[in-house]
Amino acid sequence: MPEITPNLWFDTQSLEAAEFYISVFPNSSIKNVTYYGEAGPGVAGTVLTVDFVLDGQRFTAINGGPQFTFDEAVSFMITCADQAEVDYYWEKLTDGGEESQCGWLKDRFGLSWQVCPAGMEEFLSDPNKRTRSACDEGDARHEEDRHRRHRGRRPRRPVKRCSRQSRLGAGRANVSAHIRRFDGSQPTRRVG
């Protein structure tokens, strides 16, 4: 199969973004930087593209102008081995960015990431209806509270729950329980 290289479109921050990403991920480096020439369309001598590698995965970043921006339709998922990795990537990538729900975040450049513990797919596809209904119920409560805040009403008192939203972000402590389940040392339990 041919190599697939994600190409990330930035306004003017491709080099700054690449430098940030290689500072976050191990075994990462910038491989090449190209510059606009006299023919443009960017200012001659400014950065056009940056080729970089994040722990073996190649990327290209381009300074293409403000026409296109990132949104949640595309994200990069980081599968973490343990709680320490979850916390590390969450803290690094939300620095200057913003937290979202379900383990999603946007970094300071607007790129969306999912920070997930290993085994999350197994948890989400668990045929145990009690486990799944607890998660779905938690997600429904989260959506209801979000809508109340949006309409100017005070949200209900926060409830500890087993929801995808609470596993990461403000409720990242719940991730440990799920990781322990997947390595066999402790079963998953409903929190709250």
Domain holding 27: CATH number? 3.30.720.100
Residue-number span of the structural domain to which 44 is assigned: 1-69
Q: Does the pLDDT at position 163 exceed 90?
A: no
- Any domain includes 160: yes
Report the helix count and the strand count for the chain, using DSSP H and E.
Answer: 6, 8
- Any domain includes 5: yes
Question: What pLDDT shows up at residue 152?
Answer: 53
Place of tokens 């197994």: 122
Q: Please give the share of the chain, as a percent, with pLDDT higher than 90.
A: 58
Backbone φ, ψ for residue 150 (5° rounding): -65, -35
Using the 3D structure, point to which of 37, 69, 101 is the last residue of a domain: 69
Q: Does the pLDDT at position 139 exceed 60?
A: no
Q: Does the pLDDT at position 150 exceed 60?
A: no
- Any domain includes 18: yes
| pLDDT, mean of residues 134-146 | 50
How many whole angstroms separate alpha carbon 112 and alpha carbon 165?
15
| pLDDT, mean of residues 43-69 | 97
- Any domain includes 144: yes
Domain count, the chain: 2
Q: Name the residue with higher pLDDT: 190 or 45.
A: 45
- Any domain includes 22: yes
Question: Which residues are CB-neighbours of 187 under 8 A, at least 6 positions away?
Answer: 181
- Any domain includes 192: no
- Any domain includes 86: no
Question: What pLDDT shows up at residue 122?
Answer: 76
- Any domain includes 77: no
Q: Does the pLDDT at position 135 exceed 60?
A: no
The amino acid at 58: R
| pLDDT, mean of residues 53-64 | 97
| pLDDT, mean of residues 33-58 | 96
H-only helix segments in 5-124: 14-24, 83-94, 120-124
